Amino acid sequence: MIVCDFDVLRPEQGVAALLPDGSQVAVFLTADGTVHALDNIDPFSGAAVLSRGIVGDRGGVPVVVSPVYKQAFELATGKCLEQPSVSVAVHGVRVRDGVVELT
């Protein structure tokens, strides 16, 4: 499923995409060129805000920090670093022919 054109992604920033079922994904391009996709809903606030979070790393692990309550989520696994029992869904992603697709 196509979610966006690759050229709309900027390193260390997120983009939200609305899926046909009404859910949202947050798509991120890290500084090393890796593309990640997570559910866009912050599990602590219930708000669709993760795409607007701060992207960086904690100890070399790429994360997005929620702009609401500031929890950090690993981009590769969705796991919350502050509360490991909480996570957001991670989606498989690939770039093909200039577009980002969920796999």
- What would the mean pLDDT of 57-77 be, rounded to a whole number? 97
- Domains: count for the chain: 1
What CATH number corresponds to the domain at position 57?
2.102.10.10
- pLDDT tier, 2 (very low <50, low <70, confident <90, very high otherwise): very high
Classify each residue of 20-46 as buried b or exposed e, where b means 16 or more C-beta atoms within 10 Å of its C-beta. Answer: eeeebbbbbbbeeeebbbbbbbbbeee
- What would the mean pLDDT of 25-40 be, rounded to a whole number? 97
Strands of 93-96's sheet in order across: 2-5, 99-102, 93-96
Instruction: Give the pLDDT confidence score for residue 95 in this predicted structure.
Output: 98
- What would the mean pLDDT of 11-27 be, rounded to a whole number? 97
Instruction: Give the pLDDT confidence score for residue 63 in this predicted structure.
Output: 98
Report the C-alpha gap between 84 and 87 in whole angstroms. Answer: 7
Instruction: Give the pLDDT confidence score for residue 32 in this predicted structure.
Output: 94
Q: Which of 63, 47, 78 is nearest to 12 (CA)?
A: 63
Q: Is 102 exposed, middle or buried (0-12, 13-18, 19+ CB in 10 A)?
A: middle
- What would the mean pLDDT of 76-93 be, rounded to a whole number? 98
pLDDT in tens, 38-65: 999 999 999 999 999 999 999 999 999 9
**Could you tell me the residue range of the domain that residue 71 belongs to?**
2-102
- Written as six digits, the tokens of 89 are 């869904």
- Written as six digits, the tokens of 48 are 């669709």
